Amino acid sequence: MRALLPPQVVVVESYGDVPDARPFPGEEEALTRAVEQRRREYVTVRHCARQALAELGLPPVAILSGAHREPLWPAGVLGSITHCDGYRAAALAREGSVASVGIDAEPHAPLPEGVAGVIARPEERAELARWAGERPGVCWDRVLFSAKESVYKAWFPLARRWLGFEEATVRFAPRDGTFTAELHQAGPVLGGAPLSAMTGRWAVRNGLILTSVTVPATG
């Protein structure tokens, strides 16, 4: 994931759970009904986030969740977290160095039957076959899902409202590992203009799909 983000964003990754990681006070409340796997993911990804805070020169703190399950960062910090089977990561930056960041990781496997039809717009469904022709062996339906997850994670801290899968059209450059997302909902004003598009990067490696979106700082 580090290679998919600009240098001002600190990334800490883990390909397994950290045995001695423990939740901070306040975090336990989110785990009262969690199964063991979910608990381990939650604790490890927050351990990664606290390591990222340390790299930014900041003290460790509890990382609670907001009403929409978004991570609540300390003042002056923005970021994103992700976890899936065999992978956890946190990407953090100081406010002002970027406007927002979103990351996502997924297993490199096709989406369950019927899901692609829900998350893909008609023009995206038409493109899936073309992308497969340019990069065969890539599970493009899952890459599309992951890209839209990263878009949403970068969108929400700025807009503070939902962005549905159908409200972004993603176009991939299959050979150079980038994508653009056209937004179909009026976005927050950044740098004097409404946010209407985002750019991101994607990669498939070690059995994982990794995607990221960075919204640049505006001044």
- Indicate whether this model's pTM tops 0.85: yes
- The lowest-confidence range among 5-9, 30-34, 185-189 is 30-34
Percent of the chain residues past pLDDT 70, beyond the cut:
100
Write down the pLDDT at residue 189.
94
Q: Which numeric CATH code is attached to 2-96?
A: 3.90.470.20
- Per-residue pLDDT reduced to its tens digit, 71-113: 999 999 999 999 999 999 999 999 999 999 999 999 999 999 9
pLDDT at residue 63 above 80?
yes
Torsion of CA 192, 163, 68, 45, to 10 degrees: -90
Write down the pLDDT at residue 174.
87
| CA triple 129-133-137, angle to 5 deg | 100
Domain ranges in the chain are: 2-96, 104-216
